[in-house]
Chain A
Amino acid sequence: MHSLSRLASTLDRYFRWLSLAAGAALIVMMLVTVADVFMRYVFNSPVRGSYELVEICLLISVFFALPQVIANSQEIVIDLIDGLMSPGAVNALKSIAAFATAAVLLFLLWSMLQPATEAYSYGDVKLELDFPVWILWSLALFGLANSVIASLFVLSVRHSDDPRHPPSQDHAE
């Protein structure tokens, strides 16, 4: 139990670092767009490749925040049924949900391998930056692989019935 909680805090710190990178990507996305508008109106010369930089930043911010979202079980869940069932049954459903999450993440990871290798072998590039697309795929795969780890951890903690973080209410409808 002790080693599990140590692992938990190490992973937690690691995933927090990853989401820090996600936050940095969001800030860069904002600054690039602001700079682009400024350069366009003031100097009549927009920032080259700003669209593509935004796309790259968005990709990083989504895939690097994902491990923490999974680890903290922050996904949106419809928990209408909770009041109608015994706590044991709810826990059983939570385990099934954790299993399904891990399975779906693994399937996505496996599915992304082929297009990633194709992006490499075809030599796909981002139009204006001349930036190789396979690097972006690697970043996405890295984030997803960490999310798989996070989901497996959630699954194993569920089985050992450790109390989890309460799900956060952060989302934006």
Chain B
Amino acid sequence: MTPAFLGLFVVLSLFAILFCRIPVWVALTLCGIVGNVLLSRLSVASAVAGTTAFDTASSYGLSVIPLFILMGEVASGSRLSAELFKAARVVLSGLPGGLAVATIGASGAFGAVCGSSVATAATMTRISVPEMRAAGYDDGFSGASVAAGGSLGILIPPSIILVIYAAIAEQSVPKLFAAALIPGIVLMLLYILVALVIASRLPGKAPADPSASIKQRLLALKEPWQFIVLFTCTIGGIYAGVFSPNEAAAIGAFGAILLGWLGRRLTWASLAHAVKVSVVSSCVLFIIIIGATIFANFVVQTKLPDLLLSGAHSLGLAPAAVMVLIVIIYVIMGCFLEGIGMVLITVPVFLPVVVGFGYDPIWFSIIVVIVVELGLIHPPVGMNLFIIQAQMPSLNIKQLYVGILPFLIAPFALILLLFAFPGLALWLPSILY
């Protein structure tokens, strides 16, 4: 067996054992180790595995992950997210489906301090689903708007997926964060558009809300000042070049604690809970990164990416056709796989192909994040849908599956927009850096 075919064989085995409920990190590590044993020998596999675990867990660049998670957890534990929703609700009242629109808007804003989509969705579920139920909203519609809004968490910076992508692709985190901002806002607007259309075309889904006065709206805007301070000091600091992403993450977490404490909204217990959740979440992520790094070490040596690249060349495909093919593969995988693992497995294989066909790796990072987002809300395996269902057991998963379908149009539309206007992603980094 040539190395490339061994690589293909191990990749297929990986998918097989992933489906057999082997934890993602175990499957990746196991396939990486076995692959290296078959390709070289046991001592080589052991040398790679032993050092990778240590080096990954002590990598300065990756320390940004637990810190951004902590920032999001503290912001949610000190009810910063609740204030956002309250404000958005008043400001957007009177619109058809105003509560759903407010949910998406508040999720987008919360995504600006939280690096994770699942965490954003979990937070917003607790806050806005009960309100929408009380207002007589259809369960499927309200759950779907939280799922869609929550998925903005990884596109609007900070974004853990982009940090990981930067590490694999050797790109600058600030540049990727800059590239993601405009597409993130566009996607938020597209989701809002979908919600507006549903609410106005299918009146049963969302009863009308009383409209607030201009004065009430302006007053409501005052509430989330802390959120604006936090965002300006962290992500704003990265864009202005005042802080590195690591520093911004630490200052953001610290600032969130400080604000919660000053406003008497953060108790010791909720701080302890936020720390505990952050430690567990980041540990769960780190073991996946370790597994994926071991796996990637093997895949690189099989020269499988080269095989794919030369295969695409020999088929005479146009660059755009190759990209469309890659997006389709991602969408199919996203139906079944979990996002971080998907990025870690595929980016080392696809990135050389994409760059080989003349596409910008920064532009591609945004495409990757959007397909991961799509995967988060796409049935059957949509992590956001599960999270919402887990927190609201009375919500029917089938209703969610149906409710989310119209929202799926938005990320697809954004991908098309990015193909037509790459500047959506590339313009901001080009003027900032």
Question: Is A27 close to B, CB under 8 A?
Answer: yes
- B82-90, B247-255, B417-425: which lies at the interface: B247-255
- Considering residues A31, A56, A144, A169, which has the most beta carbons from chain B within 10 angstroms of its beta carbon? A169
The 8 Å CB contact of A76, one of B24, B59, B272, B275, is B24
Instruction: Decide: A54 and B60 in contact? CB cutoff 8 A.
Output: yes
Instruction: Decide: A22 and B287 in contact? CB cutoff 8 A.
Output: no
Given contacts A30-B254, A37-B243, A100-B30, contact A140 B54 (CB under 8 A): yes
Closest to B33 in A: A107
Question: Is B282 close to A, CB under 8 A?
Answer: yes
Instruction: Decide: A75 and B23 in contact? CB cutoff 8 A.
Output: yes
Q: How large is the interface on B (under 10, 10 to 19, 20 to 34, 35 or more residues)?
A: 35 or more
- A6-14, A77-85, A155-163: which lies at the interface: A77-85
Instruction: Decide: A101 and B26 in contact? CB cutoff 8 A.
Output: yes
**How many residue-residue contacts, CB under 8 A, span A and B?**
217
Residues 53-66 of A, flagged 1 when their CB comes within 8 A of B and 0 if not, give 01111110111011
In the assembled complex, the CB of A116 is this many whole angstroms from the nearest CB of chain B, namely 8
Residues of chain A within 8 A of B287, CB atoms compared? 62, 66, 69, 75
Residues 332-359 of B, flagged 1 when their CB comes within 8 A of A and 0 if not, give 0000111111000000000000000000
In the assembled complex, the CB of A120 is this many whole angstroms from the nearest CB of chain B, namely 13
Residues 279-296 of B, flagged 1 when their CB comes within 8 A of A and 0 if not, give 111111111100000000
Question: Is A19 close to B, CB under 8 A?
Answer: yes
- Considering residues A57, A112, A137, which has the most beta carbons from chain B within 10 angstroms of its beta carbon? A112
Closest to B27 in A: A100
Instruction: Decide: A111 and B279 in contact? CB cutoff 8 A.
Output: no
CA distance A62 to B279 in the complex (A): 7
Closest to A33 in B: B250
Which residues of B in the span 261-283 have a Cβ within 8 Å of any Cβ on A? 272, 275-283
Question: Is A164 close to B, CB under 8 A?
Answer: no
Question: Is A168 close to B, CB under 8 A?
Answer: yes
Question: Is A130 close to B, CB under 8 A?
Answer: no
Which residues of A in the span 21-46 have a Cβ within 8 Å of any Cβ on B? 22-23, 26-27, 29-34, 36-37
CA distance A136 to B53 in the complex (A): 12
CA distance A30 to B319 in the complex (A): 44
The 8 Å CB contact of B118, one of A59, A90, A144, A171, is A171
The 8 Å CB contact of B21, one of A26, A55, A65, A81, is A81
Please, how many residues of chain A have a CB less than 8 angstroms from a CB on the other chain? 63
Residues of chain B within 8 A of A144, CB atoms compared? 53
Residues of chain A within 8 A of B154, CB atoms compared? 173
Secondary structure dominating the interface of B:
helix
The 8 Å CB contact of A101, one of B23, B160, B253, B282, is B23
CA distance A2 to B154 in the complex (A): 46
Instruction: Decide: B58 and A112 in contact? CB cutoff 8 A.
Output: no
Residues of chain B within 8 A of A36, CB atoms compared? 247
Instruction: Decide: B21 and A90 in contact? CB cutoff 8 A.
Output: yes
CA distance A37 to B60 in the complex (A): 16
Question: Is A125 close to B, CB under 8 A?
Answer: no
The 8 Å CB contact of A29, one of B59, B67, B340, is B67
Closest to B280 in A: A170
Question: Is B381 close to A, CB under 8 A?
Answer: yes
Instruction: Decide: A76 and B25 in contact? CB cutoff 8 A.
Output: yes
A interface residues with partner B (beta carbon < 8 Å) = 19, 22-23, 26-27, 29-34, 36-37, 51, 54-59, 61-63, 65-66, 68-69, 74-82, 90, 93-94, 96-97, 100-101, 103-104, 107-108, 110-115, 136-137, 140, 144, 168-173
Q: List 11 A-B contacts (CB under 8 A).
A: A31-B254, A58-B57, A58-B66, A69-B287, A76-B25, A107-B46, A114-B47, A115-B47, A170-B284, A171-B285, A173-B376
Task: Contacts A30-B253, A77-B22, A170-B281 known; list 7 others, CB within 8 Å.
Answer: A26-B67, A56-B58, A58-B66, A69-B283, A76-B340, A96-B22, A171-B280
